[in-house]
């Protein structure tokens, strides 16, 4: 079978062990093993979208694991990559044989799930854990098989039956490998080296304000396809046109000239297209659709039919634009009543959220708060979260973890960020809830940073010209009481994000009364973060730090200030729910939790929750 072109990556995209800090040429001289990697192993190919609409076999559940802080399963005692590591899954066949590991008699962890919240001894663990899952698979002739991961944090090396089939860097986006010619009818085993160590040149970098949950944190699937199948597609309203659906399809396979049908039965839409030699076809459909909005989250059943294979999806149709300082949803001005949230499950003392049930709790709280919008910070959240936002009517700010002080001048760091951006947009560009792609959060000003983020924004527009570009940017005082938004990156984005912690890191809440806001751009502004911490049940007067009354006063003062600023078109206070963070040390109050949530991890609503809810219901 001829390899699909999506699998063939240029040499510049190959990633080798960054921690060794050795050039490719030096590595080739040092070790034949690395030469074999260069020839035989690809990085992850673009994951097919809408995987749940395909024929899948779940590999979720208990996996055998080996905790390996020294990476002895990968390196030999000279710290060279071994060709006989744990990925070989060696078995002791004779009683005298020396073997110092055994997946089958070691520990187990659930997949999907992070290791930190599953075992107390792994609470603060950062490093390598090896995962193993055995399976049988009878693959019919003329069919293809892919091994799909929703996400692994952070660096994943994936082996099938002892052979390295590929690797992926980035903890929050999906990837896949084709295993058609490698899978056996019986006795297969997949082994994953998952490594969540932090690096200066990584994305995100070493310093964050959220928990670095390690492991196979999202679902793992075997996906069976036809020899030629629908890899990707895009179907949305054309930007600025409420009566025209515009889109495209992309096939994967050897025989790419095919007839494909697009059906939306409820709207009486039928469209047939013929793909070209690259398996690509564009289409346009003139039709007035019932529009999706937070008040009316209308989704249509959409079918893409290729031969006997039907890919079913639920798609909403809406437009999102700006005009001056206004944000326009379906051509009408909208104020974004939002809240930030992390992808952390409620009611279980932390842990990475990954399921629709998790999404129902978190986004349900946002809807109860009278939100029409959420900021999914500070990385790509799981697909269930975005799809559930589609269902219940919440606009979404989605972002990549270009966070704080990234290595702006490192080309590999940029390639990593661009790849994560590509994987996020590829997965979610059919989700009408997504209104904004965010390039970064709180990044310090420099020329290198401007070039880095501008390239990212250009790439985002190429991948999806229908949505708005934003970032949470810096602001500064031009005098004692005037905050000005003039970040150079404001020239590039459609919507200006601004984080402002007046009353928490910047003075006390009453300081809000004297603050004036200015911007040099005729563009809408979203206050992408504001807020302060409180321990639920901690009480005092409005000047008692960490009390609910202090947080309540802070919200009242900030909201009164923002009401007077005409160019502010949205708010996402920080944050919906308390979340775990290694940066937060204060005993009794924090205990390694960021306490800026309006709701405790146990679902208790703090006083500030009702202040924001009342404000949103008043302006609704």
- The pLDDT tens digits for 320-346 are 999 999 999 999 999 999 999 999 999
Residue 382 has pLDDT above 90, yes or no: yes
pLDDT one-digit tens code per residue, 516-539: 999 999 999 999 999 999 999 999
Q: Is the pTM of this model over 0.85?
A: yes
Distance CA 397, CA 418 (A): 18
Of 31, 609, 92, 533, nearest to 370 (Cα)? 609
Residue with tokens 């069976």: 224
Overall CATH class of domain 5-226 = mainly beta
E-only strand ranges, 400-460: 434-441
Which residue, among 216, 250, 217, has the nearest Cα to 49 in the 3D structure?
250
Residue 485 structure tokens: 């938004």
Backbone angles phi, psi at 471, to 5 degrees: -165, 150
Residue 6 has pLDDT above 80, yes or no: no
Tell which residue, 507, 597, 585, 581, has the closest CA to residue 548: 597
Contacts with 5 (C-beta within 8 Å, 6 or more apart), sequence order? none
Burial of 370 (0-12, 13-18, 19+ CB in 10 A): middle
What integer pLDDT is reported at residue 125 of this predicted model? 97
CATH architecture for segment(s) 321-532+566-576+606-619: Alpha-Beta Barrel (3.20)
Q: Superfamily for 241-317?
A: Immunoglobulins (2.60.40.10)
Inter-residue contact 270 to 261 (CB < 8 Å):
yes
Cα dihedral 598, 600, 602, 605 sign: negative
- Do you find a cis peptide bond into 575, omega within 30 degrees of 0? yes
- Domain map (residue ranges) of the chain: 5-226, 241-317, 321-532+566-576+606-619
Q: How far apart are CA 298 and CA 432, in angstroms?
A: 10
DSSP 167-178: EEE-SSS-EEEE
The pLDDT tens digits for 21-39 are 334 333 433 343 333 333 3
Of 473 and 11, which is predicted with more confidence? 473
Tell me the DSSP string of 139-163.
PPTTEEEEEEES--BSEEEEEETTE
Q: How confident is the model over 130-156, as pLDDT tens digits?
A: 999 999 999 999 999 999 999 999 999
* Cβ 403 vs Cβ 529: under 8 Å: no
pLDDT of residue 22: 34
The closest of 134, 129, 113 to 66, measured between CA atoms, is 129
Q: Is 399 exposed, middle or buried (0-12, 13-18, 19+ CB in 10 A)?
A: buried
């Amino acid at each position: 079978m001829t390899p699909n072109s999506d699998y063939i990556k240029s040499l510049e995209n190959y990633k080798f062990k960054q921690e060794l800090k050795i050039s490719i040429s030096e590595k080739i001289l040092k070790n034949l093993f690395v030469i074999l990697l260069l020839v035989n192993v690809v990085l992850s190919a673009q994951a097919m979208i809408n995987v749940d609409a395909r024929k899948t076999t779940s590999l979720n559940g208990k996996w055998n694991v080996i905790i390996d802080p020294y990476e002895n399963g990968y390196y030999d005692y000279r710290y060279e990559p071994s060709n006989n590591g744990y990925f070989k899954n060696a078995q002791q066949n004779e009683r005298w044989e020396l073997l110092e590991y055994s997946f089958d008699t070691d520990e187990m962890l659930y997949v999907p799930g992070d290791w930190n919240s599953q075992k107390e001894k792994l609470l603060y663990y950062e490093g390598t854990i090896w995962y193993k899952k055995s399976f049988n698979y009878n693959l019919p002739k003329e069919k293809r098989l892919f091994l799909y991961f929703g996400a692994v944090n952070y660096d994943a090396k994936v082996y099938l039956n002892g052979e390295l089939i590929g690797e992926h860097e980035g903890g929050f986006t999906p990837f896949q490998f084709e295993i058609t010619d490698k899978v056996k009818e019986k006795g297969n085993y997949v082994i994953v080296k998952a490594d969540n160590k932090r690096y200066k040149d990584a994305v995100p970098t070493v310093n964050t304000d959220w928990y670095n949950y390690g492991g196979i944190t999202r679902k793992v699937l075997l996906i069976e396809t036809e020899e030629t199948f629908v890899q990707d597609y895009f179907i949305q309203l054309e930007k600025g046109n409420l009566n025209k659906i515009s889109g495209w399809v992309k096939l994967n396979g050897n025989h790419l000239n095919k007839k494909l049908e697009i059906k939306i039965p409820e709207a009486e839409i039928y469209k047939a297209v013929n793909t070209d030699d690259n398996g690509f076809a564009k289409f346009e459909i003139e039709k007035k659709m019932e529009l999706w909005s937070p008040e009316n989250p209308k989704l249509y059943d959409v079918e893409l039919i290729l031969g006997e294979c039907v890919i079913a999806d639920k798609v909403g149709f809406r437009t999102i634009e700006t005009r001056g300082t206004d944000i326009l949803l379906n051509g009408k001005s909208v104020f974004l009543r939002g809240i930030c949230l992390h992808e952390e499950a409620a009611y279980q003392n932390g842990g990475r959220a990954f399921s629709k049930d998790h999404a129902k709790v978190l986004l349900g709280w946002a809807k109860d708060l009278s939100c029409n919008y959420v900021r999914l910070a500070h990385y790509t959240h799981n697909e269930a979260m975005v799809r559930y936002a589609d269902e219940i009517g919440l606009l979404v700010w989605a972002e990549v973890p270009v966070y704080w002080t990234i290595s702006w001048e490192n080309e590999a760091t940029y390639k990593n960020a661009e790849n994560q951006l590509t994987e996020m947009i590829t997965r979610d560009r059919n989700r009408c809830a997504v209104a904004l792609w965010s390039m970064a959060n709180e990044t310090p000003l420099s020329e290198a940073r401007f070039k880095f983020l501008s390239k990212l924004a250009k790439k985002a527009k190429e991948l999806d010209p229908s949505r708005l570009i934003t970032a949470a940017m810096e602001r500064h005082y031009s005098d004692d009481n005037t905050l000005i938004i003039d970040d150079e990156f404001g020239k590039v984005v459609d919507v200006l994000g601004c984080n402002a912690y007046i009353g928490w890191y910047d003075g006390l809440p009453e300081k809000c009364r004297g603050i004036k806001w200015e911007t040099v751009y005729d563009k809408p502004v979203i206050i992408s973060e504001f807020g302060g911490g409180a321990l639920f049940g901690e009480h005092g007067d409005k000047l008692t730090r960490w009390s609910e009354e202090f947080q309540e006063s802070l919200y009242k003062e900030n909201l009164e200030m923002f009401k007077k600023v005409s160019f502010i078109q949205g708010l996402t206070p920080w944050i919906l729910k308390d979340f775990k963070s290694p940066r937060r040390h204060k005993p009794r109050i924090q205990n390694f939790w960021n306490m800026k949530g309006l709701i405790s991890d146990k679902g208790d609503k703090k006083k500030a929750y009702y202040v924001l809810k009342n404000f949103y219901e008043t302006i609704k």
